[in-house]
Each structure stands twice: as structure tokens, then as C-alpha cells.
Chains A and B, each alone.
Chain A
Amino acid sequence: MDPKPAFSPESPAAVAALLERGRYIAEEGLSVALFLALRLGRPLLLEGEPGVGKTEVARVLAEGLGVPLVRLQCYEGLELEQALYEWDHARQLLEIRLLESIGEKDPARLRASVYREEFLLKRPVLEALELGEAVLLIDEVDRTDEAFEAFLLEVLSDFQVTVPELGTLKARARPFVLLTSNRTRELHDALRRRCVYYWIDYPSLEKELRIVRARLPELPEALARRVVALVQRVRGLGLLKPPGVAETLDLAAALLALGAEDLTPGVLEPALGALLKAREDVERVRGALAELLPLL
């Protein structure tokens, strides 16, 4: 029997409201996808350019639902042990010493007392399964290799993990699983088919303005509007690393810290580093500023 999905929102609007309480402004498409993933008990696969707020969704969702966020940050060479569990060998050795010192010699009994759950170091996937009511974020899944993807697929279909020495550990409730990908590598179709899918695009000007206003209410609206308009135009320049929403917020925060009142080249130049992360891009935008600014 499949464990039941742990959360059951009423409607996409309820999901949107929950996210907005965490100051996350979601497009309707995202709240619909999230709603369906939650209700159908399927993982949600979020793709999008870096900095559009994929990871943030998980954080705000967990916060809104009042459940822990368990995060598995993927990277190249990630091993199963780091995702699932490891035995705490040091403590196991100590335990053996301890038992020997009180005269325990029977190998079967030694074995049984050493392979107990208390010596299991639970890593994110197992931890989330155990918690049940949790949000499991598998971040940047595109960075792992295919073998790991296959393993994920297995966990995501069964919601259980077998520890040979202990038996099968099964999720009581089904944690909500959110996968993100930056597409450095193409994910396997089998994994995609298992998920509800949503591509987070760069937000529209109005939307991004709302996000900036929600996050930095102390920034004057006129300035916020000009910052967002600038970023939207900068994204159209074909940069190496176009700025995401995170960068817009960084720039806005930098301007706030600098006490800027208007967007002039003089104010912007020192703050460009908050927006752009490649030297070529900084030069490119600096060169285009004279053209860009009057248009805003």
C-alpha cells in the first residue's frame, strides 16, 4: 500500500496564498503545478534559469506548511551513502569494545547490538522518509550522474529504503519531493515522467516588481520600478549569465544600502557586481548603460 500524501491543499489559490505569506509571488502555473503535485502525491520537477527562485519554493513551502525542509544538495560524484545513510563506524567500534569489556563474546549477539538503528546516520532521503511530513528538496539533480538518478527513481516510486542489516524502512506518510534542475545535463525521461513539471521563466516586469516590493518594502516604488525595468532589459542583452530574480534583489538591496535615490550611471557602476557575475557581462552592461538608462 502506498503511503498517503501528507499535505492536501484545497485549491491552487490556497497554494498561492500559502506561498505569498512566505513572500513568494508565484505565477498561476506554478501554484497549479504545486497543487497537483501535493494532491496527487507526485514529485514536482522545477526547471528554470539560475536565480528564478526554484530552491526558494521549497523553503517557503516547508515554512508555510510548518514542516521541516530536508535538503539534498546534489553534486558530481554524490554517493548513495551521502543521500541515504551511513553506519557510524566509530561508535560501532566503541560499542564492540564496550560489550567485550563486559564479557560478551557471541558474534551473533555482537552483530545484532551493533547494527541497530541508533548507529545509523540518516542522510537526507532516509531522514525525509522517516519524517514523512516533510519537504524533501533534491536540489540541482542534473549535477549527479545517471546511476544516482536511477536510485532516486526507485525511492520516488516506492517511498521505502532497504537497509540490509535492518530491513526495509518505509515512509509513514509520503514526504513532498521537489526536484530542481538547471539543465547542465539532460535528465532521463523516466524521471521526468514520474514528476509533475513546471518551467519557471523569468518573471514579467509587473511580477518582478511585486517580488521586489514584497521583499524590500522600504525601497521607494519608483526606484524599484526602474531597477526591475533595467534588469529586464539587461536579460535581453544575451549575457553569459543573465541575472535572475535573486540578482535583482541583490542589486535592489545594494542600492538601498548605498542610499541611492535614483538610477544613474554613477550610482549603478559600483553596484553592478550585485547584478552580474561575469567580468565580460559587467563590461558589456557598463558599456550599454548610457543607452539603457534613458529608456527606463
Chain B
Amino acid sequence: MEEALLRGLLGFLEALRAEGVRPGQGQIQAWLQGLLLVPWEGEAFYLASRALLLGRKEDYPAFDRAFRRYFGLLRPKALPHQVAQGSLPVLGPGEAEGEGVLRGAYSPLERLLRRPLEALAPGEALLLSRFLLALAFPPPRRPVRRRRRGGAGERLSLPATLRRALRTGGEVLDPRFLKPRRQPYRYYVLLDVSGSMAPYARALFLLLQALKGRGFPLEAFAFGTRLTRISPLLPLPPGEALPGLGRLAEDFAGGTRLGESLRAFLEAEGRRLGRRSLLFVLSDGLDQGDPEEVARALRALRRRVRRIYWLNPLAGLPGYAPLARGMQAALPYLDALLPAGTGEELLAFLRRLRGLP
């Protein structure tokens, strides 16, 4: 099993122990094996974990609490039925993968990670996001110039030390220090929900939900022909949020106006951006607007944010070259163009988030 996956899974055991449930070694081993056996559909991941890690009914509530806390946002019960019974069929194990000889060579987990996001059934997309969330981490915090009191930092705080010394008759018995203050970045995400991106948008949206659920300060916008703030949809259960997103996408069926959307974002949020802001554009770059407009908007945005990343679902395909007009225009202003077409690529992206400068 991939190391990061393993780490993410083992993290759940911590959450479980924090709730007072302590599975034995044999149970943990069986769990790791069992997860590779169950097809990741419906509630199977939840049910399998519960069957393998617990030995008494009394632990069910504690397990549910840990599961919710660790895998985030989702009530396990709300998972399969509402979402998986959408319009797309849920694939059976090893079905419709077109992997031919490779079929069965991967665990369901690996297959899920390698399958193109567009081919994921709703239930699977949800499981993937849940799983990525399991690997996710609280937003990294970066030092800022201001400092805060407390602990044994590297700089003495004279005011605090003196105040403390007054209690002991002016004798400095307890020097106080300053510690560097740490804060997370602010994350701005522009999600392309136009026709060509529709198959990916759902999975990417679930990833955003996962990050938000993990405490990322994240503002999200959907765009096609127009720009709409979708941050209020993020905390909703996927069963409620996804139809909302779908309606938006229908409004945008006209196509993509990248440049105008970027411009609208700049106008709406420009003043709030700053050196602690990271901008992520999730789009295939297929644009019906003016490429020059894209370049102009990005040039302006570049001066206002710390980094601009472009996640393109197509970028990981063999032989991909950024030929789409919108993509071409954007390239000079990006810090990186990242693939985002499979679970694996999203995983790599999450790793990168963790290691951001």
C-alpha cells in the first residue's frame, strides 16, 4: 500500500484511540488487508472498518465520532444512498475499466486512484474525496513577522518579563519570551464548471469540500460564462451541495469565458488578496473569450497573490501540450501547471500543498 495512504489510514487509528477504542494488532492488520478487498462503493469503507476494528456494539458510537472527525464533513449514513443513486451508475468491482490485462492487478484503492476523475461514479468520487481527506492535514501554518507571547521562544519579551517581575518584588525569576506567530495561507479557488469541465468539476468540488472540512481558509468560486461565489455550498453535505453546483453548471452551458471570469474575480476580491493568498485555477483552459484578456487579468492578479497554480485535468495525459488558447495565454503567469485528472494526481497536489514554500 502506498506509504501516504498508509499514513492517512493509520492516522484514523489515532482518532479512534482518542475516542477510547483500541483495536488489537491482529485487528489492525486485518483492517489494512480488508480495505484492499472491499470494492469502495457505498458505505463499504465505513462498514468494513467498523467490522474489522471493533469487537463490541458499545464502541459503535465512539467509532462514528472518530470516523466523522477524521474523515470529515460526512455523516457516514448520508453517504451512499443520496449520492450514489444519482444519474450515473456505480461501477462494480473491476467493471468498465478498460484495463484489460491489468484488471485485478491493482487493489480497489489503487484503481480508484488511477481512474480518470471523469469516469468516477458519484459514490466513488465521494469516497475518493473522503480518502484524500484522510490523508489531508490541517492547513500548513507559515511564520509571519509579528510575534506572540508564550513558550520558550528565541526572543525575550521585556514588557511581559517586567510585568511578571512585579509580582516577585521586581526580581526577574520568570523571563517571558516571544514566539513567532504562525498563520495559514488563504486559499482562493476558481473552479471551471463549464461543459468541457463538467465531468471533473464534481470530484474537484468534493476535494474542495474536504479541504474546507479540514479547516483550510478557503474561498471558492465557480465560473463558466460568469463568476459565482460557491463558498456557502462547501459546508453542505454533498447530497445537497452537488445539485446546487449542477444547477450552476447548467446556467453556464454557454461555455467558458476565462478572461472575464478572472477579471470579475479580481474586481470582487482584489482588495482582499495579499501576500498570504494562494490562487488556484481549476480548468482545462478551453476558452471562448479573448486570450489577451486572460493574460491581462493574470498579470494583475500575479501582483496581488503569493502564488498562482493552475490545475488542469488534462495535463497528466500522455502527450498533453498546453495548446488551448486560454492555457497558452495563462502559462507565463503561473507558478506551476499541475495535472489533476486522477486521484493520484490530486494526491500529489495535496503533498505539494503541504510542502509549499
The interface stretch among B39-47, B275-283, B328-336 is: B39-47
A193 to B54, CA, bound (A): 8
CB proximity to B under 8 Å, residues A11-52: 11-13, 28-29, 32-33, 35-37, 39-40, 42, 45, 47
A194 to B24, CA, bound (A): 9
Q: Say which residue of B23, B27, B47, B57 sits within 8 Å of A33 (CB atoms).
A: B47
How many B residues touch A, CB cutoff 8 Å? 25
Interface string of A180-194 (1 = CB under 8 A from B): 000000000100111
A46 to B196, CA, bound (A): 49
The interface stretch among A90-98, A114-122, A196-204, A226-234 is: A196-204
How many A residues touch B, CB cutoff 8 Å? 25
Q: Say which residue of B38, B56, B57, B92 sits within 8 Å of A32 (CB atoms).
A: B38
Tell yes or no: B93 within 8 A of A by CB.
yes
Find out whether the CB atom of A196 lies under 8 angstroms from the CB atom of B52.
yes
A196 to B30, CA, bound (A): 9
Tell yes or no: A106 within 8 A of B by CB.
no
Tell yes or no: A76 within 8 A of B by CB.
no
Find out whether the CB atom of A39 lies under 8 angstroms from the CB atom of B23.
no
Tell yes or no: A253 within 8 A of B by CB.
no
A47 to B27, CA, bound (A): 18
With A11-B92, A199-B57 known to touch, is A193 a contact of B47 (CB < 8 Å)? no
| Residues in B whose Cβ lies below 8 Å from that of A29 | 43, 47, 50-51
With A32-B47, A33-B51, A197-B55 known to touch, is A39 a contact of B37 (CB < 8 Å)? yes
Find out whether the CB atom of A36 lies under 8 angstroms from the CB atom of B51.
yes
A93 to B43, CA, bound (A): 60
Find out whether the CB atom of B27 lies under 8 angstroms from the CB atom of A199.
no
A10 to B47, CA, bound (A): 17
Find out whether the CB atom of A42 lies under 8 angstroms from the CB atom of B30.
yes
Among residues of B, the one whose C-beta sits closest to the C-beta of A10 is B93
Min Cβ gap B58→A in Å is 9
A197 to B42, CA, bound (A): 19
Q: Say which residue of A32, A42, A189, A197 sits within 8 Å of B44 (CB atoms).
A: A32
Tell yes or no: A195 within 8 A of B by CB.
yes
Find out whether the CB atom of A36 lies under 8 angstroms from the CB atom of B23.
no
Find out whether the CB atom of B38 lies under 8 angstroms from the CB atom of A35.
yes
Find out whether the CB atom of A199 lies under 8 angstroms from the CB atom of B60.
yes
CB proximity to A under 8 Å, residues B149-203: none
Find out whether the CB atom of B43 lies under 8 angstroms from the CB atom of A193.
no
| Residues in A whose Cβ lies below 8 Å from that of B93 | 10-11
Find out whether the CB atom of A36 lies under 8 angstroms from the CB atom of B56.
no
A195 to B30, CA, bound (A): 10
| Residues in A whose Cβ lies below 8 Å from that of B38 | 11-12, 32, 35-36
CB-CB nearest 8 A-B residue pairs:
A192-B55, A33-B51, A199-B57, A193-B24, A32-B47, A36-B34, A29-B47, A197-B55
